[in-house]
Structure formats: C-alpha cells, structure tokens
Structure 1
C-alpha cells in the first residue's frame, strides 16, 4: 500500500500546534481590487477550489506511533461568505474576524473564502486556512488550477485508500525503526563534534538573543500586525542601489525594526529564519517547505550594502538543501524520536522553546492567475499568519520578535509585519509607526491598509 498520503514531519509540526498545544497556526491570503465584486466569477473559482488539493481531511491513525493520513473529503460546512459593503477603514477589523474562526483539520470547513465590497467601489477577498493544509506555494498552485480550470489532483497519491489498522500497525513499527536510526545518528554526530571540539562550525547559526527587560504594557494586544503597501519599483530600486535583492531588503528591514525597538542590542549578529520552498510541479504535499537560518550582522552597514545579507541567504539556502544535512543536523536526526514522546511531554517541551527573533518569508511575484482570481486586472495581494488562542502572557514567555512577509502583484510590494512581542510592539499603531520610521531610512513610503 502507498504511504504517500501519510503526514510528513513538517505537517505533523502544525498538527501538534493545533491538537496538542491548542495554538493552531492560521494562514490568510488577501486580495484587494479597485473594481466591483463579481460574485458569480468568485463562486466559480471557489467551486473548483472545493475539488482541489486544499480540500482534504485528516484521518487519525489507529495504532501507536503511526502517522496520520490525508484523505480527500468534501467540506462539511459552507466555505464561501459574501458580506455587506464596509468602509475601507474597517478592513483590518473584517480580516481579523475572518481569521478568528475555528478550524479543525479533521472536521468542519477545511478553509474559507470571504469577500466584501468596499465603499470606495473596490472589493476584498480573503482565503483563510490552517497552515496544516498548505504552505504558500501549495495555495498558489490550488488557486491557479481553480482559476484556469485545470485538474492537478488532490493528494500525493490520489489512488491510495485510507489505511486499515493493520497498515497503521506496520507504519508504527517503521516509525520505531526510524527513531532507532535517528538515535544512532545523533550519537555518532555528537561523538564527531566532541572530537572536533575547539573548531568553529560555520554552519551553526548564532544563538537567539535574549529578550531585554521591558516594562509590560498593560493594554497590549496579542499578535498586533500591520499591512503596508509600497511601490514595487521603489522596493526593487532601494535593493538594487545597495547591491541587494528584494529578499535581502526584506531581511534588512526586519533587522532594522528589531534594532529600533531595542530587541537586539549588544549582539553582533542574529539568527534569521527563512522558509524555503522545495515544491516541484505536481507535488501535492500539504507542506513542501524547509527551514533555512541566516546569520545576519546587526551593524548599520546594511543601509549602504546589502550584499552580505544576500550572500548569507545564498549560504543558508545551500545548507538547507544539502543532501548530507540529514546526517549532520541534530534536529533532523532526533525528529523521529521526538514524535514518539507522550503528548504531555511534547506540550511541555514545545512551550519551553523560544520563538524565532525574526522570520522572513518572501513569496515573490505571484502568478498572474492567482493575482487576478480570473479578473482582467490583478489585485494587490498580501499574506499573513496568526497563532490562534495565543495570549499576551504566552507570547512574552515565547520570547519571540517579528514575523514578516513580502509579496508582489499589481506593481505593489506588500509587506506584512506580525508582532510576536506584545511589549515592544503592543498594538497596530506601534507596528505601523515602526514600519514608517524604518522605511524612511530606505527612502520608501508605505500606505497602510
């Protein structure tokens, strides 16, 4: 029997966040058009989306240690909602309401598409779904197929059947073997590292900087965020002028936001997390992303020269995609072991891990069919994430920083900034103010949604 529809380790991570930590990670993709809403056209796209790779459900394994399985299933609840016209000033409030819905990967609506006309004659469309269902490139592929009418399949193996208990028992046994191999590999790696003690391992990223002692903000919001639109031409010009790329400028702006807030004082460099897609044509895994970690200097030379960040990004990408990494990366080696731990232990371990000080995700120029949703002209498209149920106290304990996204469409660079520190950036106004001040250092001017 094919095992291709079993969850990958990356997918299991997001299921863990949802089912064990009760902190589901939710993605939202947002289109803003200057034209009136064509409800009939949108309904056709959504109808096709319902029969695509995003409409899947989780089948719980029936044996210890076995992996859960994806299976194709129609939504058990409506997935399209069209609201009455709103003032554009209420757009963020409307988006927040949409992302606060409850999602469960094993029941209910797997995702939703919501639309609302604006008083200025335009309209907004929002796609909201658990990160467990898909990453950014998977969402793009699903929408591109829905707009064009192409059938790209639904699961990694559309011919596979839902596994029986016997199949689950066999998979559980395979996971025990994988854990044993991982343990042996971890022991060998530790022994090699001890023999080479004293040598500098340039592949090791810098440590997470300590969170500074700050006075708690009494009325801080959990996960404040802002959406800022820039001229794409200006964004590329600012990057090219300094020998960089759109991506290196994104990282530099993120570092600048942290520096201005005092989050990274007295450290020469910081680790920057960057998701890297490894999705190829026809790849219908929910998550086809690996993590890369850049070592980025905190000195202010970045305002004149982006080449060091660009080089660090290339080096990190090379390391992340190195086929030998599976035997040289301790985290990858122990992953098969960690997944076998009791859920209470997993919860305790996960909640003690610090959140990244800076995560940068660049979706690049969106495919034309995705940016237009079948219309004649593209819309401005932004992406963002939310961690549902995360409280201010939990965010403080996680010691995170910022998560930022960048996407291009309709001649616009859309920057999304999410605060993971409720005291340094306690509300949307604080995030917007920080973006405006940092953008001015690059001769960029944001327009906020």
Structure 2
C-alpha cells in the first residue's frame, strides 16, 4: 500500500531532520516537533474547510515532492545569466536557488550601520538568539497544515533586521529560483523593523517553465512604533508548479505597512496575508493583481485585524481571467471592540475575458465597534462593448482594442507602485500576459 501524502512528508522529515540548520538548538527542535505533530493531526486542508472551499490541494497531496540537498548550487552559466536578467537594478540582491542562499550570485553590497541582511540558515547556525521569539510565536496557532510544514522543514530564507531609525539606501530584492523538478522548498523570511526604521522589500519567486515543483514559503514581519515596511511580492512560478505562501504582519503604534501582491504564474497558487494593527494609529495598504489563463487557479485570502483605535486600512485587488482559469478572492476586515475610529475600505474588481473563466469573490466586514467608517465591495464583469466600439471607430482592430482595454485595467495596479524599477519590470510582464501585444510607449 502506498503512503499517504501526510505519511510521505512525515517520512521526509525523518530523512532530513539531522541535516536541517539549527539542529542542536533545543527550542528549535521543540518547535519543529510541535509543527510536525500539528501537521500529522491536521493534514492537508480539504474543500470542507471554509477557508479552502474553493481551492483543492489534492494535487499537492497526491504528489511526492522531496526536500532538496542542502549544499550550495554548482557553477551554472545559464542560471547566472538568468539571475542577472531578473535582478532589479539598484537593489540589494539576495539569491536563493532551490531553497538555499547562494552568495556567489547575490549582490548585497554595503549596508548602512544598523541594517542586517543575512541568511536564516546562517543565523540558526551562528547567532540564533535574535530569531527565537519570532520563529516560535505561532507554534500553537497554525492557520493550515502548510504553515506547520514550513516550520518543520524550514532550512533557509532571509533575515532582515533594522535598528531604530535606520533605513537601507536601496530596496532589498529577495530572489527565489527553482531549477529542479519534483522539489519542495520551505523558505522562511523574517523581517524585524525597530522604532522609526524604514525598508522596501521585493520578494520574487520564479521557476524554470515546464517544471513541476512545490514552493511553500512564509514571511513574518514585525514593525515597531512608527516603522514603515513595504513588501512587494511577485509570483512568477512555472505553470506546472504549486505555490503556497503566507505573509504575517504585526504592527506597532503609528507604523505603516504597504503590501502589493502580483500573481502571474503557478498552476495552483494560494496566498494568505494576515495583518494585525495591534496598536493605535497603525495603517496598512494592501494592493494586488492576479492574471490567469489556461487552467490556472489562483487564490488570495487576506485578513486585517483592527485591534486598537484610530487604525486605517485600504485594500484594492484586481483580477484578469482568461481561458478556463479560476480565481478566488476572500478579504476579511475585522474591527474589534476596542478599535473605535477605525477607517477601513476594501474593493475587489474582476475582468473576465472568457466565458469559461470563473472567479469567487467574498469581501467581508466584521464590526464590533460603533464609531467606525468602513466599506467594502466587489465587481465581476467583461470588457465594455462601448469602449471597444470607440476604439474600433478610431481605426483600432478588435483584438488590439481588447488588449489595450485589458492592459489599462491591469496597469492601474502597477501604476500605484512607488518603486520605479519594479513598476517598469511589471509593465513588461503585463504586456506578455495579454492575448494580443501592446506596444510600450516611446
């Protein structure tokens, strides 16, 4: 009898446990063991789970992905050239290949005093004390079996620490590349922004097209009083890949969190973003764009908890769906009893380019305070025939008219970015995802 998906990963853990970084740390051993036990009991989420009712992960459960080797990658001229083409100009670049940090392809450069950018594996082996509290804070509250798997298997990722009042002079580009088939990577990123610090982070996931693999990543962020954190994520995986990700944000007094999520790849992709406005006058802004085609399935679940007074949140997600693809958007905003004077607005708009495309959208508001200003809404529609007619009357053919209107719909999200180098890169990617080419302005 073949092993079940859960049994397979439990056996994988037994196989690689001795080689995981930090294996001699008692607190980490306990955290890994608790995570393994949680996964053994919870297993993979099913359609009977409310938060997963529209997204089946049976394909992941059936597959037998293996944890890769822990050694550094071998010299590879083609891979080096691709990394160079993906690197954002003017950024501190940290490269991970098949889940492991690769110093030979990274370009971190000189960082200001008080700013640390290190490999999580190196931290666990050399100076683990700063990461203990952050890695152990959720061991009894995993949102899904995937998060527990990440804790059990995490081997590497980025550790970013900003002392009070510090800020990198350039954005930090975390580039994760998968080059091997049937591989699973469990990366973990930690961001700790002390009082009054500022940082802009781009988390970028790519893979060799045509490869089947599984990315399971978690990013934890803690922003202290008056800290400002920008986190931009670009998901550009192989169309045969699985991508499951979580972003967990804890905000202090007066802190600002800006999130943007661009989902363009992956056969099945799921992103969970949880934001806790845990002190007064905290603010967050969540933007997102998902573009799907073929039989892609992309799911975004967000949750914003307004726990204290005078908080402000803005959420704006758009989707463009073609072929027989499917998207899910579930955005929940919870205003807790003590969160008076909360100002929260949420919107999700979707454009269907095919009769076979489908989106399930569910914006939610739960309000337990009486002095608030909150709204939410969602739309699902097709291209406006009047706008198509107008462009046709100006000599634009039908296909180009549709492509121009689709580009304009999606480009609104890109244009909201303040980071110029990422905005230019995404504009190019958008054109490549349209049914017909749209020329760049000269």
Interval of TM-score (by shorter of Structure 1 and Structure 2): under 0.3
- Calculate the TM-score normalised by the size of structure 1: 0.24
- Calculate the TM-score normalised by the size of structure 2: 0.24
Q: Which has the higher contact order (CA 8 A, sep 6+)?
A: 1
Query: Which is richer in strand?
Result: 2
Query: Which is richer in helix?
Result: 1
